[in-house]
Every structure is written in C-alpha cells, then in structure tokens.
C-alpha cells in the first residue's frame, strides 16, 4: 500500500511540473488543496508564488513555514532573497521549484539554479488511480472530443503499463503516468552507492525503457536519520536519484537529460512499516513514467 505521505510527495511533484510549464494557478491549487503544513509543501508553495512573481505571497508562505519550523534554512534564504530584491540589491530571477532540504536547499536557492534538481522533461500527475474512460456510441449519441481524447490517453497508458511490467517491481497506473516501485532496496546504507543486486535490478528493468517515447521522473528516497532533518528531502536521496538515472540512461540508450531527478521527502517512503528490513527496502528510488505525447 502506498502511504499518504508518498501520495503527497507525488502531488508536490505534479505541482512542480505545472509550475515549470507556467501553470502557476493550477500548481497553487494542488498545493493548497493538500491542506498540509509540512515543510516540503509550504516551501514548494512559496517557490511557486515566487516563480510567478508574487513575492508578497511567497514571503507570507515562507513566514508561515518559519512559524511551523523555526530556522528552516530554505525559508530564511527565500525571505532574505526577497528582501534584497525589494531593496534593489538583487535582481529578481526564477527560483528552484524542488527543495532538497537544509543547507543544500539554501545554496541552490541563492545560486538560482534548478537544472541539478530536475529537468523540465518530467510531468508527474495526481495520485488517484483513474480507470480507462469507456466511450459508448449509439445512433443518437456520439462521444465528445474530450471523451475521445480521454479514451485515447487511457489506452496509451494501458499500453505503457503493460510494457513497463517486469520482475522485481510493482506498478500503479495513475491518471497521467505509471508509478514504478522496486520491491527491494537498491542502495547501501547512508550513501548513493548501489548494491550489486540493486544495480542488477535497475539494469534488468531499465531495458524496458529502450525505444519508448516517455518522460521519466526519478524520485530518490532515504530513511530518516537521528539528528538529521525528517522532512524537506535530502542530498542523499537526490544523489540516489542521480545514480539510478545514470544507470537507466546507459541501459536504455536515453540521454541523461531526459530524466528528471528529484529528492522525495523523507516521510514519503514507498514501503510502509518499521524495522531494519523495511528501512533497507526504502533505500531506493521510484519512478513516474508518462507517455511523452500525453
């Protein structure tokens, strides 16, 4: 079963993609609809407001984040940057849309870069599973254009899901994409180095991407470590996503730039439960694969 935290993480990914496409109002609606005061959600909401040029709203959300999580580095940096822009000491420029937590997020924010975190080629969708639209016709009823388009999109997604199936993974067909979760952990503890079996699993599954016209988002996961932030993503998770994407690019013949790379929130583990075995399984990545023509 996919956790609620993982569902929220995927919704945040969708909002980030919408914002990268310039659909700021839709991104804001998704994030505000989560009714979630977590650092990851509030930080991304503030970044979307900043991206659309609404610095007042961005500053207000970052202030709200600091009330929930005092000393949050990204919020402090964001408010400082806005203050400098307002004072004329810094030129306004796009802010990164995906936080990776702690000092790393602050550095990326001040650098004004997003390329390291995510490529705009991804398009994560809402988490709700959507069954294929059934179109019925009769002499007096002709399907609308929207119904036909929905049916064609559902058929493409069905075909994609069938083509992504393989040993060692579980698939969930969602509204716009297919979520891929590996059954076992892929990485050694506390780092970005793949285990031998983890590399084998990526190589084995990555072959199915060869020749497919898809967009792929790689979400890195990690376990919460005592004394470290429990939300906001992590550099380890981001590094795991990058390591996995490198292997998948080699195996599939796709360019590395075709993979969007993101850090999942620490609370958004794909496998629920406790104990060393579950922690080991969550040293992993998950993927969102979407037909590129959708």
- The tokens describing 101, both together, are 């937590």
What is the band of 4 on the pLDDT scale with cuts at 50, 70, 90? low
- The tokens describing 201, both together, are 């699993």
**Cα distance between residue 91 and residue 82, in whole Å:** 10
Domain-located, residue 198: yes
Residues 105 and 30 in one domain: yes
The larger pLDDT score, comparing residue 207 to residue 155, is at 207
Sole residue written with tokens 């990485």: 187
Q: Rounded mean pLDDT of 34-49?
A: 89
Q: What is the CATH number of the domain that holds 202?
A: 3.30.1330.60
Residues 83 and 157 in one domain: no
φ/ψ of 165, rounded to 5, equals: -65, 145
Domain-located, residue 131: no
Domain span holding position 194: 145-291
Question: Using CA of residue 21, residue 26, residue 32, residue 35, what is the dihedral sign?
Answer: negative
Closest CA to 229 of 50, 102, 131: 102
Residues 212 and 87 in one domain: no
Which residues have a Cβ under 8 Å from the Cβ of 198 and sit 6 or more positions away?
A: 184, 185, 186, 187, 284
Residues 176 and 268 in one domain: yes
Tell me, what's the pLDDT at 243? 92
**Cα distance between residue 189 and residue 139, in whole Å:** 63
Tell me, what's the pLDDT at 72? 83
Domain-located, residue 211: yes
Count of structural domains within the chain: 2
Which residues have a Cβ under 8 Å from the Cβ of 282 and sit 6 or more positions away?
A: 185, 221, 222, 223, 269, 270, 271
Q: What is the CATH number of the domain that holds 86?
A: 1.25.40
Burial of 120 (0-12, 13-18, 19+ CB in 10 A): middle
Sole residue written with tokens 């059954």: 183
Tell me, what's the pLDDT at 16? 84
| pLDDT at residue 211 tops 50 | yes
* Final residue belonging to a domain, choices 62, 96, 111: 111
What is the band of 225 on the pLDDT scale with cuts at 50, 70, 90? low
Closest CA to 95 of 59, 145, 134: 59
* Final residue belonging to a domain, choices 93, 111, 129: 111
Q: Rounded mean pLDDT of 179-194?
A: 93
Question: In the chain, what percentage of residues exceed pLDDT 90?
Answer: 28
Tell me, what's the pLDDT at 147? 73
Q: What is the pLDDT of residues 144-161, one digit of tens each?
A: 566 777 788 788 889 999
| pLDDT at residue 11 tops 90 | no
The larger pLDDT score, comparing residue 266 to residue 95, is at 266
What is the band of 64 on the pLDDT scale with cuts at 50, 70, 90? very high
Domain-located, residue 125: no
On whether the CB atoms of residues 99 and 44 are closer than 8 A, the answer is yes
Tell me, what's the pLDDT at 179? 92
């Amino acid at each position: 079963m996919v956790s609620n935290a993982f569902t929220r993480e995927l919704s945040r990914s969708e909002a980030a993609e919408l914002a990268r496409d310039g659909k700021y109002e839709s991104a804001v609606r998704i994030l505000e609809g989560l009714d979630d005061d977590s650092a990851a959600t509030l930080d991304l909401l503030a970044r979307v407001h900043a991206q659309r040029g609404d610095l007042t709203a961005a500053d207000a959300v970052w202030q709200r984040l600091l009330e929930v999580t005092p000393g949050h580095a990204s919020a402090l940096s964001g408010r400082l940057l806005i203050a400098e822009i307002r004072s004329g000491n810094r030129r306004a420029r796009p802010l990164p849309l995906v936080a990776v937590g702690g000092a790393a997020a602050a550095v990326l924010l001040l650098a004004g870069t997003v390329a390291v975190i995510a490529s705009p080629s991804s398009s994560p969708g809402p988490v709700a599973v959507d069954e294929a639209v059934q179109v019925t016709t009769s002499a007096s009823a002709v399907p609308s254009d929207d119904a036909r388009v929905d049916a064609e999109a559902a058929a493409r997604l069905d075909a994609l899901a069938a083509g992504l199936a393989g040993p060692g993974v579980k698939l969930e067909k969602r509204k716009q994409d297919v979520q891929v979760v590996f059954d076992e952990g892929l990485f050694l503890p506390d780092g970005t180095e793949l285990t031998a079996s983890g590399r084998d699993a990526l190589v084995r599954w990555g072959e199915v991407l060869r020749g497919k016209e898809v967009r792929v988002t790689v979400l890195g996961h990690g376990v919460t470590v005592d004394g470290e932030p429990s939300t906001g993503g992590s550099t380890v998770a981001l590094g795991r996503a990058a390591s996995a994407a490198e292997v998948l690019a080699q195996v599939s013949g796709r360019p590395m730039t075709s993979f969007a790379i993101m850090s999942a929130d620490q609370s958004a583990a794909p496998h629920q439960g406790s104990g060393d075995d579950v922690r080991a399984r969550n040293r992993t990545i998950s993927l969102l694969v979407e037909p590129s023509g959708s």
